[in-house]
Structure 1
Amino acid sequence: MTVTTTPVVRTPPQGLLHELGVVATVIQREMIRFVYDVGRAVATLFQSVIWLLVIGAGVGSLLPGLPEGADLKTAVFPGIIAMTVILSAMFSASSIVWDREWGFVRIMLVAPVSRTSIVVGKVLAGSLLATGQGAVLIALSGLVGVPYDPAMIAQMLGVMLLTAFSVASFGVAVAARIKTLDSFLGIAQLVIMPMVFLSGALFPVGQLTGWFAAVTVFNPIAYAVDPMRQIVFGYVDAPAEVAERLNPGVSWNGWEVPVALELLMVGVAGVAFLLIAVARIRKVE
């Protein structure tokens, strides 16, 4: 008589600690990838410095009617940081498309782990890397008349992390269904670049008129840029006329939107995009 035994397949525990380990592993992998591709980060930072010098020093000297003591570099500085964080967070999602082309995504998706953990790991990794690049620019604060105040730096880091989280979630949601890197980069540039330029990152929104001003109100990125500028001007010793001209805030029909509401909108958008990214990844075969 032959006894047939069924092999026992052992699967790792699917508890919270296991999923947190998956998130940490994905973050670690993205960090290692970043170290080997640090040239892209250096190029992004160099480009941001050029924007700061060109827009702040060059274009600022051409704007008529600026109050005495107004330095456009100070007003543009938080916008340049926001632009760096947003672009870095968006393009960090390209790793999903790259992994798909090389077949690594399929390996992750068939592994006995939650796809939600994979998405969360990708988003958090992109958020941390983008915030880190923005933090490097904060080291240049003294060059544009912004003090190195610990409270200001802490607030800026918090807003940068929230902004990076929202943009990275959006990027992963977009990348989840795109199969080629060229397509993703094209869509990212088509969507993100106009929104960045029309967000008030490179010039105060108070300088805009007509349909430019109307577009800014409906631009979600404007609500990530404005809190950074509000924080910086809270620690800059600027005359009231200068602050009013270079830091007008975002208004809805004459009502200035509070920073707390702006941050809430950015956070809610990030959570919504994260849920969309998870849903789209779950449909990938």
Structure 2
Amino acid sequence: MSSSTGPAPRCELRAVHALVLRELMRLTANPGQVAMLMLQPLLFLFTLGGGLSTLVPDHAVGGSYRSYLFPGVLLMSIQAPALNVGFRLIIDRDSGVLRETLVAPARRTTLLCGICLGGCVSAAAQGAVLIALAPAGGLPYRPLLLLGLLAQLTLCAFALTALGTAIAVRIRRAETFALLLSLTSAPFLFTSGAFVPRSALPGWLDPLAAVNPLAYACDALHGTIRALAGHPATADGAGRLPLAANTAALLLTGLIALYLGARSFDRHQATD
């Protein structure tokens, strides 16, 4: 009966578990790479945060600049590992690893969800390392605050991973995907309000910020800090949308990207 109705739920869950476990094994097998990915956010926190904190007035960011910068540093810590899932998807397809994965007794949509979930967990785990450094970012060491930041960061990682994979399934060359990331990662990060309030940016960048998922992620992190740590609002009022709206926008972005990616993945792999 299961052959007529598709793979059994147990097989689907085992496939997802195996893909998540594979991403975690990649993470633990390359501690040097993880350390290098953590280096840039830490440099931004301690050098940029320490240097500009004496130049940026508190009223411009609604508090100390280092506290304002900390959510942006958290986003930096997950941006590369989350988007690199799409890069590895293309590499696996070129090397034949993906073809071997597709013979698993699970739907292709389930397999793509497992790849995204594995990337999300791996990226969130790296972000959790920086969340533990919250006092260095001028935030109080409160368990509820740390859990709230981890939840928001996991949602951000899910949205970025889903976007990366949705784009990767439509691209045939790893070099093209790498070039696309290099051209878009920095602009989206800088227009998100991670380093300076978006109100301080040129007005012609507003349309880019409006469609920038990192902007909603940054606002959600700022809103979480304001809600759970009692910090004053940032210069942008901790975002132009309420915390719940920013969270919903991130979730919706991830679900739409995952749906579109799954459709493309199923169609493209069927023709390969």
- Taking structure 2 as the reference length, the TM-score comes to 0.88
Unaligned 5+ segments in structure 2 are: none
Distance of 1:276 and 1:217 partners within structure 2: 21
User: What is residue 17 of structure 1 aligned with on the other side?
Assistant: 10
Q: 1:225 corresponds to which letter in structure 2? A: C
Structure 1 distance, partners of 2:243, 2:147, is 16
CA contact (8 A) 1:223 1:262 kept: yes
**Could you tell me which of 149, 152, 164 is aligned with 1:159?**
152
1:177 counterpart residue number = 170
Q: Distance in 1 between matches of 2:88 and 2:257?
A: 17
CA contact (8 A) 2:77 2:127 kept: yes
Q: Find the counterpart in structure 2 of residue 271 from structure 1.
A: 255
Q: From the superposition, tell whether residues 19 and 60 of structure 1 become closer, same or farther in structure 2 (CA, over 3 Å).
A: same
> 1:51 aligned to 44, 48, 52, which one?
44
Other-structure match for 1:7: none
TM-score w.r.t. the length of structure 1 is: 0.85
Aligned counterparts, 1:71-220, within 5 A = 71-213=64-206, 215-220=208-213
Correspondence for 1:226 among 202, 219, 229: 219
Q: State the alpha-carbon separation in 1 of the partners of residues 229 and 149 from structure 2.
A: 14
Q: 1:266 to 1:235 in 2, by over 3 A?
A: closer
Instruction: Give CA deviations for 1:30-52 in whole Å, capped at 9, x if unaligned.
Output: 22222222322211111110011
Higher helix share: 2
Partner of 1:35: 28
C-alpha contact 1:100 1:106 (8 A) present in aligned 2 = yes
Residues 15, 114 of structure 2: 8 Å contact kept: yes
Aligned to 2:239: 250
Q: Does residue 244 of structure 2 align to residue 260 of structure 1? A: yes
Per the TM alignment, residue 278 of structure 1 is displaced from its structure 2 partner at its CA by 0.9
Superposition RMSD in Å: 2.3
Percent of matched pairs sharing the same residue: 28
* Rg (Cα) greater in structure: 1
Task: Tell me how far 1:179 sits from its aligned partner.
Answer: 3.0
2:88 is matched by which residue type in structure 1?
S
What SS class does the counterpart of residue 102 from structure 2 fall into?
Answer: helix
Cα distance change, pair 34–181 in 1 and its aligned pair in 2 (3 A): farther
Q: C-alpha separation between the residues in 2 aligned to 1:221 and 1:72?
A: 19
> How many angstroms apart in 2 are the aligned matches of 1:154 and 1:273?
26
* Distance of 1:236 and 1:247 partners within structure 2: 17
Determine helix, strand or coil for the equivalent of 2:170.
Answer: coil
Asked if the contact 2:220–2:246 (Cα under 8 Å) also holds between the matched residues in 1, the reply is: yes
Give the SS at the match of 1:248. Answer: coil
How far the C-alpha of 1:84 sits from its partner, in A, is: 1.6
Write the distance in 1 (CA, Å) between the matches of 2:176 and 2:30. 21
Q: How many residues align structurally?
A: 265
Query: Shift of the alpha carbon at 1:273?
Result: 0.6
